[in-house]
Amino acid sequence: MTLLSETHQENTAVTRQNTRPHIEVHDLTMAYGDYIIQRNLNFTINRGDIFIIMGGSGCGKSTLMKHLIGLKPPAKGDVLIDKQNFWKAPSAQQEEIKRRFGVMFQAGALWSSLTLAENIALPLGEYTRLPKKEIAEVVEFKLALVGLAGFEDFYPSQISGGMQKRASLARAMALDPEILFFDEPSAGLDPISSVRLDHLILELSHSLGATVVVVTHELASIFTIGNNSVFLDAESKTMLTTGDPKILRDESHIPQVRSFLNRGEI
């Protein structure tokens, strides 16, 4: 275990002594028409958590994230953000809540025709009244945070996949969000780049105090960064458990959970 991971766990242990719910999911059912993806989801993401949405392929991990960030309404149930019922709030209030989110999609979703600086400046130009000089300063700072100082004028095609992921992370942080959502952040990366990205997420979570929600099936990432989680099961179409993934790996009595989290040892 790295010193950064140990430090994160120590800080998390202290933080969780005074936990406050940041996101609460109550009796959530996800569906496409009559086809049920998941039902009866109930879990809490505490302020400051690095929360992992995990489970096998086709269980609805990315769909759940879409419900949490306001892209897809649930068939049933509620999503509360700081006790505010997102899906029952007026549209203006929903937009206000969504501005507190930063989202990094699986493919990165950078605009190929824009430089890194222009990509990160987009949300700042749309949602703030900052003058161009201050936007440029924020962009420079965000890129420096993710180790991309000096790459402002590069296009996405001119940098590596790992650097593109970091640039996407910088854009997700552009508006200083309270909650960061990452959909398969390590997808397509080599092992070294994946480790670097995990450590960056840990460092930013600690320094910014943000709540982080991560969709992933990568065991190394799950155990390196996660302190809380929900496990979705495709067969039963519901969650099987919630909690610290390291504790679930060692102590869960649910066969599917133990198998998933110990599959590297099978």
Burial of 255 (0-12, 13-18, 19+ CB in 10 A): exposed
pLDDT value, residue 29: 98
Q: Model-level pTM greater than 0.75?
A: yes
pLDDT value, residue 42: 98
pLDDT value, residue 207: 84
pLDDT value, residue 186: 83
Tokens of residue 52, six digits: 């992992």
pLDDT value, residue 127: 86
pLDDT value, residue 105: 80
The values of phi and psi at residue 73, to 5°, are -75, 145
pLDDT value, residue 188: 78
Q: Which residues of the chain have pLDDT under 50?
A: 1-17, 265-266
Over the stretch 129-144, which tens digit does the pLDDT of each residue have? 999 999 999 999 999 9
pLDDT value, residue 264: 52
Q: Report which of 180, 251, 244, 223 is spatially closest to residue 2, judged by C-alpha positions.
A: 223
Q: What's the one-letter identity of residue 53?
A: I
CATH of 3-100+177-265, one of 3.40.50.300, 3.40.30.10, 3.30.1360.30, 3.30.930.10: 3.40.50.300
